[in-house]
Amino acid sequence: MPSASGKIKSQARSVVKSLRLCFGMFSKIPVGAPDWSEEARRYLMCSLPVVGAVLAGVLFLAGLAANALTLPPVLTTILIFAAPIAFTGGIHLDGLCDTCDALGSNAPPEKKREILKDPRAGAFGVIGVCVYLLCFFALCLQYAQLPLTVARLIPLCAVFFVSRVTTAGLVVGAKASSSAGLNAQFHADAARRATMVFLTALILAFAVVGAFLFGGVYADATIAVLAANLAAVLYARLCLAPKFGGFSGDLAGFSLCIAELLGLAAITVLEIYK
C-alpha cells in the first residue's frame, strides 16, 4: 500500500504531465513531445483554465503594449484579435468549423458524428468560421475604440479564462457522444470529482473576487461574463449535445468559441451603455 507521501508525489507528477499535455494540445507554447498516458490525462481538464490564465496574461500584456505605443484603434484591434488565435494555433476554430458543417447538414446524430470526423472543411463550416471571425473582429474593433485602460483589459482577459473553465466542465460533466476519440478518453480518464470541485472553486472565486473586491468596480463585468458563459453552457447541454447524441471534442471547441464571442459581446455592450 503506497504511503501518503508516495500518493502526493504520484499526484504531483500526474498534474505536471497533465499541464504539459494541455499546453501542448491547446497552445503553441513548445513543451516537447506530449505524454498521452492515462496518468497525463487525469488532470487535463484541470489544466485547461491554466492555459486560459496564461492566454489572459498574454492578452493583458498586448493591451498594455498597445497603450504604451499609443496604437490607433485598428492596430489595437488586430493585436487583440490575433493574439488568442496565434496563442492557440486556432485549434478551437477547427471544432467550430466541423460543428457548423455537421449542424448545417440537418442529418441524424450518427451522420453528424461522421461529419465531425471528416478532415475536410465543407461549405457550412467555412461560412460559419467566416461569420464568427467577422463578428469577433467587429467586437474587438468596438472594444478597442474605448481607451484600453487596466479596468477594461481585466474583463477582456477574464473572457478567455472563464470560457476555458466552463468548457472544461462540459467535457468532464457531459456524456461523451462516442466511446472512441480524444474527448471520450479525457472524459473516462479524468479524476472527475476532483476536476469538478476544482472548476467549481475557480468559478466561485472569480465571482467573489470580481463582484466584491476592488470596491465592486468589476461587479457588472463579472456578472456579464458569467451570464455569457452560462448561456453558452446551457446551449451546449440542452441544444447542441442532444443533436449529436452526446458531447465531443469538436463540440467543446465550438462551445468555447461561442462562450468567448458571447463574453466579448457582453462586456462590449456593457461598456457602451455604462
- The more confident residue out of 246 and 74 is 74
The C-alpha cell that represents 217 in the structure block: 468596480
Residue 151 lies in a domain: yes
Confidence check: pLDDT of 266 > 80: yes
> What pLDDT, on the 0 to 100 scale, is given for residue 183?
53
Confidence check: pLDDT of 202 > 80: yes
Confidence check: pLDDT of 139 > 90: yes
Confidence check: pLDDT of 127 > 80: yes
Confidence check: pLDDT of 95 > 60: yes
Residue 123 lies in a domain: yes
The C-alpha cell that represents 136 in the structure block: 469577433
Q: Considering the entire predicted model, what is its pTM?
A: 0.90
Segment 21-75, tens digit of pLDDT: 999 999 998 887 777 787 788 888 999 999 999 999 999 999 999 988 989 999 9
Q: What span, in angstroms and rounded, lies between the C-alpha atoms of 12 and 32?
A: 19
The C-alpha cell that represents 75 in the structure block: 492596430
Which DSSP letter does residue 216 get?
A: G
> What pLDDT, on the 0 to 100 scale, is given for residue 33?
73
The mean pLDDT value of the chain amounts to 88
Contact between 163 and 263 (Cβ < 8 Å): yes
Contact between 106 and 83 (Cβ < 8 Å): no
Between the CA of residue 263 and those of 83, 219, 224, 256, what are the distances in Å? 17, 14, 7, 10
Residue 255 lies in a domain: yes
What is the SS3 assignment for 176?
Answer: strand
User: Which letter, b or e, does each residue of 31-56 get, where b requires 16 or more Cβ atoms within 10 Å of its Cβ?
Assistant: eeeebeeebbbbbbbbbbbbbbbbbb
Residue 138 lies in a domain: yes
End-to-end CA gap in the chain = 60
Q: How confident is the model at residue 98 (pLDDT cuts 50, 70, 90)?
A: very high
Name which of 71-85, 168-182, 230-244, 246-260 the model is least confident about.
168-182
Number of domains forming the structure of the chain: 1
* Domain membership of residue 113 as a residue range: 38-272
Q: What span, in angstroms and rounded, lies between the C-alpha atoms of 248 and 258?
A: 15
One-character DSSP codes across 121-173: --HHHHHHHHHHHHHHHHHHHHHHHS---HHHHHHHHHHHHHHHHHHHHHHHH
Confidence check: pLDDT of 180 > 70: no
Q: How confident is the model at residue 3 (pLDDT cuts 50, 70, 90)?
A: low
Residue 21 lies in a domain: no
Residue 28 lies in a domain: no
One-character DSSP codes across 36-91: -SHHHHTTHHHHHHHHHHHHHHHHHHHHHHHHHTT--HHHHHHHHHHHHHHHHTTH
Confidence check: pLDDT of 6 > 80: no
Which residues, 6 or more positions from 93, have their beta carbon under 8 angstroms from its beta carbon?
85, 129, 132, 133, 253, 257
Residue 23 lies in a domain: no
Residue 24 lies in a domain: no
Beta bridge partners of 151: none
